[in-house]
Amino acid sequence: MSPLNVRCLQMLIFDVPEVKLFLLIIAEIILYLIAYLRNRKNKDMYIRLFKVSVLMTLLYYISSRM
């Protein structure tokens, strides 16, 4: 990739709030999936934590856009 393409990709990832939010939610899904697979006894707890985490991320995004 040329340096210009790399810079455009960096700008897309780091300067667009929607992309940051999407990447954060994907990271949360992966982390909670790993935690869930390692400890299946408390799966309800992980589901609740995931819902709260996604809700807080969305609230942060909405508040930062105002």
pLDDT score recorded for residue 4: 58
pLDDT score recorded for residue 16: 66
| Domain ranges, ordered by start, for the chain | 16-65
Check: CB of residue 19 under 8 Å from CB of residue 12: yes
Check: CB of residue 10 under 8 Å from CB of residue 20: no
pLDDT score recorded for residue 28: 78
pLDDT score recorded for residue 39: 76
| pTM (two decimals) | 0.51
Could you list the pLDDT tens digit for every one of the 66 residues in the chain? 556 566 666 666 666 667 777 777 788 778 777 877 877 777 777 777 777 877 877 777 777 766
